[in-house]
Amino acid sequence: MVLTGFMGAGKSTLGARVAQELGWRFVDLDEEIVRAEQQSIADIFDTAGEASFRKLENIALTMALKQDRLVLALGGGALETEANRRLLADDPATLLLYLAAPLEILIARCEQQARLQPQAARRPVLEKREVLRERFLRRKPLYESAHWMIETTAQEPDAIVQAVLARWREHTSGASFAHNE
């Protein structure tokens, strides 16, 4: 199971909970890259550039998709890379789930996380709201191409986890994953 969505969507928080409920392993793709490179995503962008980061991301995604019984949280921009979209589309066992919310809600969540967790990842793009809005609008159609979409705005995390698990159980009987049922 692969979770996608913009920053603040809850991919890491919800992904860890879903994995725990399923008895599976949880992997945050950005954290895997940070661990491998021993520097933050912001630092990788600053020193090597986005193109280099996207190559690292594709390598990490390729490795992650080889694992069974895994809930994977993608970085918010992972779907912008054609090679990543192809990897996800070509794997019949991969279920891509979009955690959706309006941009204003996502920004508020990121700002709240920064206040409550000072050690949380630095997100320089939050300072550039017009760039942030353009990025969100550019990525939204990519997110919407996921197999499922779950609106997260008015739901508590536990309710979202239960909704994900219910949908997952409906489809584990070997049914294919139709887009946005």
Cα–Cα distance, 17 to 24 (Å, whole number): 10
Write out the two tokens for 162.
């239960």
Strand ranges of the sheet holding 2-4, from the earlier edge strand across to the other edge: 25-28, 70-73, 2-4, 96-100, 148-151
CB atoms within 10 A of CB 92: 8
pLDDT in tens, 119-165: 655 555 566 788 889 999 999 999 999 999 999 998 899 999 999 99
Write out the two tokens for 74.
């993608």
pLDDT in tens, 115-132: 666 665 555 556 678 888
User: Are 162 and 17 in contact, with CB atoms under 8 Å apart?
Assistant: no
Cα–Cα distance, 175 to 100 (Å, whole number): 24
Cα–Cα distance, 52 to 55 (Å, whole number): 5
* 2-168 fold: Rossmann fold (3.40.50)
* DSSP type of residue 125: G
pLDDT in tens, 87-113: 999 988 888 999 999 999 998 887 776
